[in-house]
Amino acid sequence: MFCDYTLAFDGSISSRFHHRSELLDRSRVEMFKNILRSSVESFRKIVPADASRDLEVSWSPEGQAALAAFSLGGVMVTISALLTGRNEQDDNRILHYFREILAEEARPRELPAPHLAEIADRPLVLSIPLPASRPEAMSLVGEMEVCLAAAFFEGHE
């Protein structure tokens, strides 16, 4: 089981869920497991999302934590931090990078600094939909994002 927090762009928590990996679309979880097994470094890959669309996934691991971004049609839809809780230093480094990316995306507005390090739930995926993302993309990306998180966390059990 892992926690999934979606943040609003103002830094507030807009949703919080608990997911049981075994209840997710196992074919998608296995697809991501295979991709993660074959890629120990950062990557950008196109993955099939549905019958008519592909998603681009950008992945940057840092020990036992990682950053992921999903793009659809060349537009970045979400950025996520995946924290296993197995190495606090890795989790903190990813949270730092996550905040930096969000601050860059927020310019010229100032992004409130959410207290992300205070969220104790682990394993944890923190996601933020970007302002340019279309609502219809969010449900597709959200499902894929959760399957990627499940694959990553299962690999660190």
Residue 43 confidence class, pLDDT cut points 50, 70, 90: very high
pTM for the whole structure: 0.91
Find the mean pLDDT for residues 1-17: 86
List, for residues 86-95, the tens digit of each pLDDT value: 999 999 999 9
Contact in structure between 101 and 58 (CB atoms under 8 Å): no
Distance CA 155, CA 157 (A): 6
Instruction: Measure the CA angle with vertex 52, ends 81 and 128; round to 5°.
Output: 20
Higher pLDDT, 117 or 104: 104
Question: Which of 7-21, 34-48, 140-154 has the least mean pLDDT?
Answer: 7-21
**Res 115: pLDDT:** 67
**Res 114: pLDDT:** 53
List, for residues 73-114, the tens digit of each pLDDT value: 888 899 999 999 999 999 999 999 998 887 776 655 555 555
Contacts of 18 (CB under 8 A, 6+ apart): 1, 2, 3, 4
